[in-house]
Amino acid sequence: MKWLWVLGVIAALAALSSACGGGDKAAPSLSDADLKNIVMVT
């Protein structure tokens, strides 16, 4: 039954990950002004 337990842990973490709007799912949109600032800083 241990593998079932581990599968449960993976599922729990996947669910927590899904509850985050990070990366490709919800990349923050930057305005032209933001982009200009970033370019100027770099």
Residues found near another protein in the complex (CB under 8 A):
5-6, 9-10, 12-26, 28
The pair of structure tokens assigned to 30 is 């930057």
Closer by beta carbon to another protein, 19 or else 41: 19
Closer by beta carbon to another protein, 28 or else 42: 28
Q: CB of 41: closest distance to another protein in angstroms?
A: 15
Torsion of CA 7, 13, 16, 22, to 10 degrees: -120
14 CB-near residues (< 8 Å, 6+ apart) = none
Closer by beta carbon to another protein, 18 or else 31: 18
